[in-house]
């Protein structure tokens, strides 16, 4: 592996991680806690939909955050860039686009067509 690229990917990962963490904190503030506002919510259907959308966004951000944390752990462990399925090196082009990926493009495509 060309170790010279690692600090660069690590930086990409950390920047994205900060971005998502900040977004997640904002989103958390927007979502009303369940059970807090019973009773007078009769015409708050749109607010509910909005909250639901935010929760969904937050969940997918949460998955990416987790993937980023895993990628950072793999950088520390020295297994970054190695596809988890076929053990081949993931292409730099792919890592530039999705630095937290665990699969090379071929395996990702196989996974998606299997799903
Ligand atoms: Zn692979």
Report the distance separating Cα 115 and Cα 60, nearest Å. 18
Q: How far is the CA of 29 from the centre of ligand 1 (A)?
A: 39
Distance 50 CA to ligand 1 centre (A): 38
103 DSSP 8-state letter: S
For residue 47, give every residue at least 6 positions away whose Cβ sits within 8 Å of its Cβ, in sequence order, or none: 32, 41
What pTM, to 2 d.p., does this model score?
Answer: 0.70
Dihedral pair phi/psi, residue 85, rounded to 5°: -90, -45
pLDDT per position as a tens digit, 58-75: 788 899 999 999 999 999
Distances (CA, A) of 14 to 10, 42, 79, 85, 95: 6, 43, 17, 25, 14
Ligand 1 centroid–CA 1 distance in Å is: 16
Dist. CA 23 → ligand 1 center (Å): 31
What is the second-level CATH architecture of the domain 3-114? Up-down Bundle (1.20)
In tens, the pLDDT along 27-49 reads 777 666 655 555 555 555 677 88
């Amino acid at each position: 592996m060309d170790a010279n690229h690692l600090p660069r990917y690590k930086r990409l990962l950390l920047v994205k991680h900060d971005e998502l963490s900040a977004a997640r904190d904002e989103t958390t503030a927007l979502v009303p806690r369940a059970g807090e506002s019973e009773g007078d919510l009769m015409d708050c259907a749109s607010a509910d939909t909005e909250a639901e959308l935010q929760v969904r966004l937050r969940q997918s951000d949460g998955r990416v955050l987790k993937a980023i944390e895993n990628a950072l752990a793999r950088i520390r462990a020295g297994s970054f860039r190695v596809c988890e399925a076929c053990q081949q090196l993931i292409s730099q082009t792919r890592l530039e686009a999705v630095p937290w990926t665990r699969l090379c493009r071929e395996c990702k495509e196989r996974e998606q067509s299997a799903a």
